[in-house]
Chains A and B, each alone.
Chain A
Amino acid sequence: GQQLNQSPQSMFIQEGEDVSMNCTSSSIFNTWLWYKQEPGEGPVLLIALYKAGELTSNGRLTAQFGITRKDSFLNISASIPSDVGIYFCAGPNSGGSNYKLTFGKGTLLTVNP
């Protein structure tokens, strides 16, 4: 089946630093989604990307849909302590079952104040 590889697995950064994480796949995706999960909560959608090459921002977050459609990255600028959490990339499976999302294993972000 389709797999999404996220890197890095974890990051420890100082408040104020910029963060970059990415997600790659051996298969083409037509949609890329980035979710954030805080401790004890469910994942929350941050950004959705629908077009190859698309660059979308949501506040301090910026995500891009790779032109090969096999990768995406998420950047966080000027990190703050509340950015702590696990960031997941996800995309719908191909072949008609577009309700079935494949999730990456996540990038755990820790921000030291």
Chain B
Amino acid sequence: DAGVIQSPRHEVTEMGQEVTLRCKPISGHNSLFWYRQTMMRGLELLIYFNNNVPIDDSGMPEDRFSAKMPNASFSTLKIQPSEPRDSAVYFCASSLVLAGELFFGEGSRLTVL
């Protein structure tokens, strides 16, 4: 079975540009998470969707960040405008059971120059 699929794997962009990261969760999973990983802060939860509905976006750093889940098989995380401090690895994860059994994608490494 396919795991969580993220694209792009790597993105290099210039400050001020719009960035869109994409995620396809595991089929049948009803929860989707976006995490950000940096050396300084480790893994941080940005937003959590349940049954395509955003439940908790308290981890979204600023209004420059937005996330959508138009259907059960697709989600996007958008940064507009991007800034150098947004450089990080962004992970999408999905799960069927709460309390932690997350399946992570391979991540999207974002570099903002």
Q: Which residues of A contact B (CB under 8 A)?
A: 30-31, 33, 40-45, 48, 88, 90-92, 97-101, 103-106
Contacts and interface: CB of A to CB of B under 8 A. Distances in A.
25 contacts: A31-B99, A40-B106, A40-B107, A42-B4, A42-B91, A42-B106, A42-B107, A43-B91, A44-B104, A45-B101, A45-B103, A92-B98, A97-B56, A98-B98, A99-B31, A99-B55, A99-B56, A99-B98, A99-B99, A100-B56, A101-B100, A101-B102, A103-B42, A105-B42, A106-B42
Contacts of A41: 106-107
A33 B95 CA distance: 14
B48 interface: yes
B105 interface: yes
Contacts of B100: 31, 33, 48, 90-92, 98, 101
B7 to A, nearest CB: 14
Interface of B: 4, 31, 33, 42-43, 45, 48, 50, 55-56, 91, 93, 98-107
B106 A98 contact: no
Q: Which of A33, A99, A106 has the most CB atoms of chain B within a 10 A radius of its CB?
A: A99
A100 B45 CA distance: 7
Contacts of B33: 99
Contacts of A106: 42
Contacts of B43: 43, 88, 103
Nearest to A100: B45
B42 A42 contact: no
